[in-house]
Structure 1
């Protein structure tokens, strides 16, 4: 399995999912590659019920092939491969950024891969301010302190991974998107 790819700018990009792969990388997926129009990136405990699944259902009803992990990943699918395929095939990504979004290495790895595909990303700032991500402050800063501790203690992530995640959050905060301040707004 290749760990890097060459970007259009002549530099190598590390596969953001390497930090999530099990030590035995010989796992093969029985996944049949599906094509999606939209990939919804979100932190499940924060937004799945209130925002991600209702959005998914609306898009599906409109005939738009949409990926959200729970309804789209089938039994027996290798989860990292299913997500990589969905992100790579989608022409539009929706990133739902929530108060605890940055705690999830999965969310951050997905966002990094979304940027690598160069497809359009629409951010939805759900009960957060874009500036929290632009300047890595408040809950976002707390989450990165924890990632840095894991990097030192467990070697799970590299400094490069953490820096790449920060850059992705800073970049996504500069994209015109939606702000949802309260659940009923």
Structure 2
């Protein structure tokens, strides 16, 4: 019987990398540089403003693109948790990470990993805007944030030149 990690290696993926990010915080700064660097190295990357087909249902296409990606780079920023789109992407990413063996890499941009893990500080404040939503949905988001923040990743604040 094949393990889940071998399943991920045998599948034909549409994208090498799916980028999950809050455009408000990172689109015109860090994300554009990351996307360009991946593109220069021939890495097929899904970035919503580059790859979404006009006229298609955005949510369905995003979720399918997550499923069709070999790995994920989740760029956690101060406003990431304020976006239900980002949080729903994160749920799908963590589902694929656990069940299909696809790899998720967290990047902490201008936030401490413990802020994401514990949902405190700017991340806690961003998540608080969802307090009137369905309790079980928010609980799933909180768990996904914690699981993703527990993965080995990069704290941009601790790298050369950020």
Same fold (TM over 0.5): yes
Q: TM-score, normalised by structure 1?
A: 0.73
Conserved? CA contact 1:52–1:68, under 8 Å: no
Conserved? CA contact 2:17–2:45, under 8 Å: yes
1:173 aligned to which of 145, 149, 152 = 149
- Per the alignment, residue 7 of structure 2 pairs with none
Counterparts of 2:54 and 2:75, CA distance in 1: 25
Cα deviation per residue 1:36-82 (whole Å; 9 max; x = unaligned)? 11100000010111122221222122221110000111222221122
Unaligned runs of 5+ in 2: 5-12
Q: Secondary structure at the match of 2:131?
A: helix
- Per the alignment, residue 69 of structure 1 pairs with 48
Cα RMSD (Å) of the superposition? Answer: 1.9
Q: TM-score, normalised by structure 2?
A: 0.83
- How far the C-alpha of 1:109 sits from its partner, in A, is 0.5
Q: Does 1:132 align with 2:143?
A: no
Conserved? CA contact 1:53–1:68, under 8 Å: no
Q: Does 1:101 align with 2:77?
A: no
2:34 aligned to which of 47, 55, 64 = 55
Query: Within 5 Å, which residues of 2 pair with 1:1-185?
Result: 35-118=14-97, 119-149=102-132, 151=133, 158-181=134-157, 184-185=161-162
Q: Secondary structure at the match of 1:91?
A: strand
Question: Relative contact order (C-alpha < 8 Å, sep 6+): which is higher?
Answer: 2
Moved over 4 A (4+): none
Cα deviation per residue 1:107-160 (whole Å; 9 max; x = unaligned)? 1100110011121110000010010011111122222322012x2xxxxxx211
Q: Would you say how many aligned residue pairs link Structure 1 and Structure 2? A: 146
Counterparts of 1:184 and 1:37, CA distance in 2: 26
Counterparts of 1:178 and 1:145, CA distance in 2: 25
Q: Secondary structure at the match of 2:107?
A: strand
